Each structure stands twice: as C-alpha cells, then as structure tokens.
C-alpha cells in the first residue's frame, strides 16, 4: 500500500474502559494518566495524526491539551522520534499510542509481531506509553498474524493497548476479505481476541446520511457486549473526498449517537492536517503550522462535555437502544407501552443504561443534525425523578414527580445532532 493511502486509512486511537494498567506484575512503571491503575475517570479523547516530529514542542502539545485531548497518535519518520514524543506528551498528561514506519515496509522485512514486540520492549517502560498501532482496516486473511502481534504486546506490557481499527460496514467485500460484514467482525473477535474494538464510520456525506450508520453501531455494540470489551468510535474533523466541511452539529451527531450505543472513547480524524494535498483542503483542528482553525473551539467545547460525562459513561452498561420514526436500518422502534412515551416525534434516538449499583440512565439524541428542536418526553408512573447528568460546570436540570402526579412530562431544548444523559429514579413495582 502506498504511504499516502496508509496515512489516510491508518485511523487510530486508544482508550481505556477506565481500568487499563501499564504496570507489569512485580514492577511499577512511571506514573502516567494512561497507566493509572484503577482510574475509572479517564475517558479517552484521541487526536489522530497529532503534531509531526518537527512540532514535538511544549507549545504544540499545550495547544493539544487545551483542546481537551488526553491521547494522541503521531506518525514518525523513524522509531527514535517516539522517545521525543513520549517525553513531551507525558509532560502534558497525554497518552501516546506508538507507530513505526517499519509497519509500512513489513512485506520486505520483519514480521508484524516482531516489530510490535520491539516497540513494546523499547518504549513500554516509558512514561506516557499506552500501546502500539498495529493495523488499520485489516483484511480477514491478516487476522491470524494480528492475533500473534496482539498477544506479543499484551505479554510484554500487560494492560497496554495493541490497537487495530476495523473497516466500516460500507467497506466492500474485497476490502474486508470477507463475504459480508458480520463474518468479518465475528472472525476478528474470535481470532484476534482484541482488548478493544475500534472502528471509524463517517456517516455524513455531501449526499446526506449513510443508511448503514446505525446498523454499524449496533453490530459493534453487540460484539462489545458479547466479548466484554469496550468500543471506540470516531468523528470526522476534516473535509475531503465525499465528506463536507465539518460543523458542530455533525460532530455532535456522530459523537452522541456513538455514546448512546455504548462507546467508551472517541477518536478525532484528524487533529493535524494530513500531508497529502491530493485529499483536499489541509486544515483540520489546527492548520499545518499548528495554529487553531475555526474547528478548534468547537472540538474543545465538545471534548469538555466528554470529560464531564466520561466518568459516568465508563460505568454504564448498555441495555436497550430504540429509535422513533423513521427507524433506520439496523435500528429498533420504541416499544409500545414503553416507560418513555415520545408521542409522534420523529428522528429521536433513546438508549437505556445501568450502572453497577443498579441505577438506570437514559440518553436522548436528536437525530436531526440540521436543526435544533424542543423534545417532549412523558414518563410512566414508576419514574419518580429525572436528573440531567451535567456536562458543563452548571448543574443539570432535575424533574421530580409526586406519587399521585398524572403528568410526568419534561421538555428538552436540544441542539442539532445533540445528546443528553439522564439518571432516573424509579419506584419499586
């Protein structure tokens, strides 16, 4: 594969469901937010294609950190630059997932697992190390080799992330190397045995919404729950090919839809512009000089919300996901006589969760990414209160209902593509 193709596709990230540890048994690695044992509040917000080696400076990584990123993937020209990356990233509390240019030349040199093992041995004891980027959009016939590489990295640095990013559901059978997408996913989880599931599906094109976006989320969600591993989704922060210029409603739609399906981390493609000018305009969250673009403030605002919601989201188990009409491909309609009545409102996504203590949560997403709206929800008689989980410094709204109260309706003012999370208090039946 040509280098420009690899750079476009090699989508990356990392995350921890809040319990990753890069500490080896009987040893202690230097403190790092990505290796903090038992840290249940670290919600990964990943900058894909971070500053290039020529900008491995405190100024560049301060700008990165101030945008709310706590993890980064940078593509280096040679392995020695990873040491400088770890040094500056760790000073700003940012975790790094490492990549080697030797992965591009794998066919003429060492095996994938030996290159990955070499990176883990060389940098696994360094502050800020979180894992290794193994492959983006692998074909099915690569899974056995990837499984060996995953096992090698996990053995050398327990708790680190051997990262692989899967193709989206709109990928062709030729790209998948499988006759259909479900077979591709099932083979991946059983053969590779990854510690996380990551995929990048960019749903909004110049022609509208891809019809299989929610199907892709549901298929990933199912495997995540079955395997007991977290999954991460992606948001597009650059314009190229069939994709329009990013807007805040687009990002909110992508991110909050994924969170409603249970995502435990978000990746942004890309932070720094890609060097290949044939892909279109070169600005992303920053421009090619590291200066903030129009999108920087939008991303910083959304990332701040993720960090506020993250500690709660990491504890939640996905239970149900429903849609009001029109129900998208792969979606399920809101059941009749469900505890939330949406009336005849269209384009809503509602998801329920449960935490380890049995508390119930509801997320509501405005599937309309073109305009804001007022959403009205009417709750069943067993709902005693609805408390918004705050995503800013301001406290969330609270609605409390009396036992004999007939009207248990709330009104929500929602931005285009936006989502809100609520904790529910239920009476015993």
Encode pLDDT of 251-300 as tens digits: 999 999 999 999 999 999 999 998 765 555 568 999 999 999 999 999 99
pLDDT reported for residue 422:
98
The alpha carbon dihedral of 56, 20, 424, 262 has a sign of positive
Distance CA 35, CA 345 (A): 44
pLDDT digits (tens, 9 = 90+) for 298-357: 999 999 999 999 999 999 999 999 999 999 999 999 999 999 999 999 999 999 999 999
Same domain flag for 275 and 382: no
Mean pLDDT computed over 144-156: 95
112-123 vs 81-91: helix crossing angle, rounded to 10: 50
Instruction: Please give the tally of structural domains in the chain.
Output: 2
* CATH code of the domain in which 395 resides: 2.60.40.1180
Judge whether residue 410 has pLDDT over 50: yes
Residue after which a domain boundary falls, among 313, 338, 370: 313
Contacts of 91 (CB under 8 A, 6+ apart): 58, 61
Distance CA 311, CA 198 (A): 20
pLDDT confidence band for 106 (50 / 70 / 90): low
Same domain flag for 49 and 175: yes
Same domain flag for 301 and 348: no
Residue after which a domain boundary falls, among 283, 313, 343: 313
pLDDT confidence band for 358 (50 / 70 / 90): very high
pLDDT reported for residue 36:
52
Closest CA to 76 of 53, 46, 47: 53
Same domain flag for 292 and 347: no
Same domain flag for 276 and 325: no
Same domain flag for 70 and 24: yes
Same domain flag for 284 and 343: no
Virtual torsion, Cα 298, 202, 349, 198, nearest 10 deg: -100
Judge whether residue 429 has pLDDT over 80: no
CA distances from 139 to 144, 173, 237 (A): 11, 9, 26
* CATH code of the domain in which 251 resides: 3.20.20.80
Same domain flag for 162 and 230: yes
The length of the chain is 429
Three-state DSSP at 189 gives helix
| In the block, residue with structure tokens 């979606």 | 331
Distance CA 283, CA 252 (A): 20
pLDDT digits (tens, 9 = 90+) for 159-168: 889 999 999 9
Same domain flag for 269 and 409: no
| In the block, residue with structure tokens 């040509």 | 2
Judge whether residue 92 has pLDDT over 90: yes
pLDDT reported for residue 103:
86
For residue 332, the enclosing domain spans 317-426
């Amino acid at each position: 594969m040509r280098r420009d193709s690899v750079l476009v596709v090699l989508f990356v990230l990392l995350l921890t469901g809040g319990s990753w540890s890069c500490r080896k048994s009987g040893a202690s690695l230097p403190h790092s937010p990505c290796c903090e044992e038992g840290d249940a509040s670290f919600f990964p917000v990943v900058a894909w294609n971070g500053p290039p080696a020529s900008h491995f400076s405190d100024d560049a990584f301060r700008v990165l950190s101030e945008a709310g990123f706590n993890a980064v993937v940078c593509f280096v020209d040679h392995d020695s630059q990873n040491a400088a990356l770890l040094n500056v990233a760790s000073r700003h509390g940012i975790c790094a997932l490492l990549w080697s240019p030797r992965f591009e030349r794998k066919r003429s040199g060492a095996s994938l697992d030996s290159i990955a093992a070499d990176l883990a041995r060389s940098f696994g004891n360094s502050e800020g190390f979180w894992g290794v980027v193994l492959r983006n959009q692998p074909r099915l016939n690569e899974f056995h080799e990837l499984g060996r590489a995953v096992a090698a990295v996990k053995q050398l640095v327990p708790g680190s992330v051997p990262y692989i990013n899967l193709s989206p559901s709109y990928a062709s059978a030729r790209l998948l190397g499988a006759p259909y997408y479900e077979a591709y996913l099932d083979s991946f989880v059983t053969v590779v045995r990854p510690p996380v599931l990551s995929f990048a599906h960019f749903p909004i094109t110049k022609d509208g919404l891809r019809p299989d976006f929610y199907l892709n989320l549901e298929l990933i969600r199912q495997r995540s729950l079955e395997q007991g591993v977290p999954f991460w989704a992606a948001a597009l922060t650059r314009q190229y090919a069939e994709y329009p210029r990013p807007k805040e409603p687009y990002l909110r739609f992508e991110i909050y839809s994924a969170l409603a399906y249970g995502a435990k981390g978000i990746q942004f493609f890309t932070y720094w512009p890609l060097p290949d000018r044939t892909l279109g305009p070169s600005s992303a969250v920053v421009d090619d000089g590291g200066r903030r673009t129009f999108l920087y403030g939008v991303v910083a605002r959304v990332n701040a919300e993720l960090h506020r919601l993250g500690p709660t989201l990491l504890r939640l188990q996905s239970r149900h996901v429903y849609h009001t009409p029109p129900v998208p491909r792969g979606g399920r309609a809101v059941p009749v006589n469900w505890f939330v009545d949406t009336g005849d409102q269209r384009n809503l996504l509602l998801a329920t969760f449960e935490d380890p203590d049995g508390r119930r949560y509801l997320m509501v997403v405005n599937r309309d990414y073109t305009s804001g709206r007022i959403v009205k929800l009417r709750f069943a008689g067993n709902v005693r209160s609805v408390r918004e989980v705050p995503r800013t410094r301001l406290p969330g709204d609270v609605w409390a209902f009396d036992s004999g109260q007939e009207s248990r309706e709330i009104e929500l003012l929602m931005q285009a593509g936006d989502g809100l999370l609520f904790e529910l208090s239920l009476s015993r039946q």
